[in-house]
Amino acid sequence: MYRDTRAEVSLSAIRDNVAEIRGLLPEGVKLMAVVKADGYGHGSEESARAAAGAGADCLAVAYLDEALTLRSRGVELPIFILAPIHPAEVMLAIRHQLTLTVTHAEWFRQAEMYWDPSGKEKLQVHVKVDTGLGRIGLRTREEWDELVPWLQQDCIEVDGFYTHFATAAREDTAFLLTQCARFLEMKEWSQASGIKVGHYHCAGSNAALRFPELAMDMVRIGAALYGFYPENLVQGVNLRPALSLYSSLIQVKLLRKGEYIGYDNSYVAEEDEWIGTVPIGYGDGWSQSLQGTEMLVEGRRSQVVGKICMDQLMIRLDRSYMPGTEVVLIGSQREATIAISELARHAGTVSQEISTSLSGRVERIYKE
């Protein structure tokens, strides 16, 4: 490691979170660990192995290349791809035993050009239905009826039928209940067709934690795997954040009253102040939207002042410190804590956007 800024990932936290969530679920419900976007910035392979070690039944990623990376690194758990892949890549998915999302019959019509459905290779799929998120998934009975003949072929195994909730982190559950009712109606379509479905699932992290009764056959645990969840809406759950972020002061200077800090003279000292420079910036994923947040120096909160630069930022200190003094951006120091949820609220986003934004310039160090 050649720089001061580093992220530490607690693998035991991921394992403990899997165990904690499993304890909430009805018996027999499977747990799908979502490790897309490089494990929400925590490392996909390391997160996958930690989740598997804690008893996750399968993994999920967003894209084909993420699944192939895990397979190339020896990850053997079943892997489900959440976004539809290009029909031309169907044989690649079959060879690597990957489970695909399908949303319409046209995908199969195009895939026939690259794959012989009458052959020996079986394709495992989950059907995605759109109950209100408006992203991907079939919406009408006509779309379902057009898809059914493809799903009835011997070479197709329908391992799942699922949807995704739009408002599971909101206190108001009205829209979630509307989506639930719609999903149960669509579930009846699948049952009436006579197609054997391996798993019905609708609950991601927030829904699984808040409403275990919606677990059905399986839950998809992404954000909660890493300790991100709406603590104000979930009772009796204690998930541990897996990510901490550290750096250090590389320079400390005394700024006189009326002097400026940052591009565009974005901060002016109202009195004589000690200013520290920290080697992290938006080139590392520490967005300018985090201007005004705080970091810990010897357990004391220090505010980010001036515009965040590409490689560095400045914080206002309570006194002079030696260069090399540790700075905590996410995590605890002495009796104080900077939670990633605090940063997300300031930026008007969610915790997982902060973690996935951390670039490859920030080394990940894995701790048991």
Q: What residues contact residue 189 under an 8 Å CB cut-off, 6+ apart?
A: 141, 144
Spatial distance between the Cα atoms of 203 and 216, rounded to a whole number of angstroms: 8
36, 128, 187, 307: which one is catalytic?
Answer: 36
- In degrees, rounded to 5, the angle at the alpha carbon of residue 270 between the alpha carbons of residues 269 and 276 is 35
Q: Yes or no: say if 51 and 59 are a contact pair by the CB < 8 Å rule.
A: yes
310 is in an annotated binding site: yes
Q: For the beta carbon of residue 178, count every other beta carbon within 10 angstroms.
A: 14
40, 263, 267, 321: which one is catalytic?
Answer: 263
- Is residue 253 part of the annotated active site? The answer reads no
Q: Yes or no: say if 37 and 82 are a contact pair by the CB < 8 Å rule.
A: no
Spatial distance between the Cα atoms of 261 and 44, rounded to a whole number of angstroms: 38
Copy the structure tokens of residue 98: 């990957």
Rg over alpha carbons for the chain, rounded to the nearest Å, is: 24
Q: Closest Cα partner for 199 from 315, 327, 60?
A: 60
> Which pairing describes strands 30-34 and 58-61: parallel, antiparallel, or unpaired?
parallel
- Is residue 263 part of the annotated active site? The answer reads yes
Burial pattern 247-267, b for ≥16 Cβ within 10 A else e, equals bbbbebeebeeeeebbeeeeb
Backbone angles phi, psi at 20, to 5 degrees: -65, -45
Q: Which residue positions form the known binding site for substrate?
A: 135, 310
Q: Which residue positions form the known binding site?
A: 135, 310
Active site (catalytic) residues: 36, 263
